[in-house]
Chain A
């Protein structure tokens, strides 16, 4: 119930192609869904996020699609570039017993974009 399942584990895409990473969850208490991008040697950084009352959010080449009934959300990277090569984590925000919120992270997808 507290898991976020992420696939694929790794992805290789040609430059200019579309990268798609999928996540699924079970817990309907999850109410905010960010994506984080991590380059080697760095900590993860927020890329884009979506609330469950919205079905799609787009920021530049990055789009989140959200399907509330299926409890699935995905990240699409259009016109993928070698500079997008990184590890991507989906996450879901979960309320805690102390009244704050914590993120449950997926297992990560290592994306490599070939030049």
Chain B
């Protein structure tokens, strides 16, 4: 089965630090996504990538950037972490067709103090 892995399950960072969240998928999927999950707000799309080096902003891109240098790896970068970026971050991947199944990683719980 498809596996989406995220580099850390839990992460604690200080305000102002640069934070890297890594995601790797093993099924040669074209599309990869970063979401944040907050209680009562559901899953909100931060950024996605539809090909290597190609990206598109999601609904809440402010304060984040992404990098996709290889097809299997998609990184989320918090340039200067702030306390309002404390959240659960979920990575997902899928084939680029309309009806394809989207696979999620287990999530990274980031706390910014």
Contact = CB atoms under 8 A, between A and B. Distances in A.
Interface of A: 2, 6, 9, 31-32, 34, 36, 41-46, 49, 51, 89, 93, 96-108
B31 A100 contact: yes
Given A43-B90, A107-B41, A101 B98 contact: yes
Contacts of B61: none
A108 B58 CA distance: 19
Contacts of A107: 40-42
B84 to A, nearest CB: 18
12 contacts: A34-B102, A42-B107, A43-B90, A89-B43, A93-B98, A96-B56, A97-B56, A101-B98, A102-B45, A102-B58, A104-B45, A105-B43
B62 interface: no
Nearest to A107: B42
How would you classify the secondary structure of chain A's contact residues: helix, strand, loop or mixed?
A: loop
Interface residues of B, number: 29
Contacts of A96: 48, 50, 56
Contacts of B58: 102
A98 B99 contact: no
Contacts of A105: 35, 42-44
Contacts of A106: 42
B106 A44 contact: no
Contacts of A93: 98-99
B54 A98 contact: yes
Given A100-B96, A102-B58, A44 B42 contact: no
B99 A32 contact: yes
Nearest to B35: A105
Nearest to B6: A43
B56 A103 contact: no
Contacts of B76: none
